Amino acid sequence: MTMIDEIRRVAGAIPDPEMPALTIADLGILRDVRIDASGHVDIDITPTYSGCPALDTIREDVERRIREQGYADVSVRVVLSPAWTTEWMSEAGRVKLREYGIAPPRRQRFEVKALTVAIECPECGSPRTHELAHFGSTQCQAVRQCNACGETFPHFKEH
């Protein structure tokens, strides 16, 4: 395993402060890791939302964890372009969301979104759900309710 692979593994294992069941690798927030000839480590992260209130915490956690691995000179850079998309989320992250009780975002297969498709209930799997609130506990989530089992659940919105 190369030094870059090891740094990526350690940084990627950091839990998301708002959804600790997921890591920043699961979410696709960890974008790039570079080490220059002097040993300086540069790490790029892209937040799920440009106004993400957890961004400073994530940046501090990454810097601290990598310094704990013996790399004294570490910079974590926030990269907003290209903007984060739910397509960057790993399949493992989507499974963890469902297990955590949050409906994961659908995979987008087309450039144009013609119709809104059903969001499946993470409890019973029914596609018969409706949105109760466009924003949930975080701005990247909506609140939905299942018409079949009545369960209210968060949905990690596609974007």
12-35 pLDDT per residue, tens: 999 999 989 999 999 999 999 999
Q: Average pLDDT, stretch 78-93? A: 93
Across the chain, what does the average pLDDT equal? 90
Residue 156 has pLDDT above 60, yes or no: yes
- 76, 107: one domain: no
- 53, 8: one domain: yes
| Spatial distance between the Cα atoms of 13 and 26, rounded to a whole number of angstroms | 9
pLDDT of the residue at 1: 84
- 27, 75: one domain: yes
The domain that holds 69 is classified in CATH as 3.30.300.130
pLDDT of the residue at 143: 94
The token duo for 36 is 């220059």
- 77, 15: one domain: yes
pLDDT of the residue at 28: 95
DSSP category for residue 149: T
Residue 25's contacts (CB-CB under 8 Å, 6 or more residues apart) are: 8, 11, 12, 13, 90, 93
Higher-confidence position of 42 and 50 = 42
pTM over 0.85: no
Residue 53's contacts (CB-CB under 8 Å, 6 or more residues apart) are: 18
- 42, 71: one domain: yes
- 10, 78: one domain: yes
pLDDT of the residue at 13: 97
Is 89 a domain residue?
A: no
pLDDT of the residue at 112: 53
What domain count does the chain have? 2
DSSP category for residue 87: G
Residue 73 has pLDDT above 60, yes or no: yes
Residues 93-145: tens digit of each pLDDT: 999 999 989 999 887 665 555 556 789 999 999 999 999 999 888 888 999 99
Is 92 a domain residue?
A: no
- 106, 80: one domain: no
Is 32 a domain residue?
A: yes
DSSP category for residue 49: S
Are 78 and 99 in contact by the 8 Å Cβ rule? The answer is no
Domain with 149, as residue range(s), is: 102-156
